[in-house]
Amino acid sequence: MKVDASDSIFQQFARITDALSSPSRLKLMDRLCQGEQTVEQLAEAAGLSISNTSRQLRILAECRLAAVRRDPPRVYYAVAGEHVVRFWFALRDLAREQLAELGRIVDDLVAGRDPLLPMSRDELLARMRTGEVVLVDVRPEPEYRAGHIPGALSIPVEQLEARLSTIPAGKEVVAYCRGPYCMLSADAVAALRARGIAAVRLEDGFPEWKAAGLPLQAA
């Protein structure tokens, strides 16, 4: 059989697809889009063991999808660049367009928590300028410290009930988290409404806000 001279090119393409063939690694890719994090933080966020997380991250780093930084005793990982974030967003969009099952799964998950339409970025920007809303970041605090939407309060979803008194009264609350496939903001909105507080979730999350070139703030 004649060897196609282009095989070596497609083998390199396959390095990327092989690295993304694991749901665990895809989950970590999604978490890496939040900003640089330690292996321990990523393991907790992804629900994986530390050893398994380290192994999966090394695979992502080997094909240059993730970048590693060592500051003993910690090891930090981040996406290798904004082009990787754009690729991840494009992959998500392709899956949503081509796989009807994905749309049904997401709709079922979100509808069970939040049946109302989310708020768009443009509407949020307009209402923030007039001071009509309170913006709440419900991600874990390390992700908030790494970067967040300016003016957002950090109230991780598991602390929401204990910190209700810190939310200014009389304004609608807009909650955001890691993106359109993260359920933290939907859970936060459901909890707030159950306590009589007007709340809505942002249609996407921090990575999409950052990718759009909108202002950022770091703690």
pLDDT in tens, 55-101: 999 999 999 999 999 999 999 999 999 999 999 999 999 999 999 99
- Alpha-carbon dihedral 45, 30, 207, 44, rounded to 10 degrees: 10
Helix/strand/coil (H/E/C) assignment for every residue in 84-151:
HHHHHHHHHHHHHHHCHHHHHHHHHHHHCCCCCCCECHHHHHHHHHCCCEEEEECCCHHHHHHCECCC
- Banded model confidence at residue 5, pLDDT cuts 50, 70, 90: confident
- Give residue for tokens 């957002």: 152
**Mean of the per-residue pLDDT values for the chain?**
92
pLDDT at 110: 76
Within the chain, all domains assigned CATH 3.40.250.10 are found at 108-211
CATH code given to domain 7-85: 1.10.10.10
User: Which CATH number is correct for 108-211, 3.30.450.40, 3.40.50.300, 3.40.50.620, 3.40.250.10?
Assistant: 3.40.250.10
Category of 151 on φ-ψ map: left (φ > 0), alpha (ψ -120 to 50) or beta: left
pLDDT in tens, 148-165: 999 999 999 999 999 999
Cite the active site residues: 177
Within the chain, all domains assigned CATH 1.10.10.10 are found at 7-85
- The three-point CA angle 11-12-17 to 5° equals 90
pLDDT in tens, 191-219: 999 999 999 999 999 999 999 999 999 87
User: Model pTM?
Assistant: 0.85
Q: How many CA atoms lie within 13 A of 202 on its CB side?
A: 29
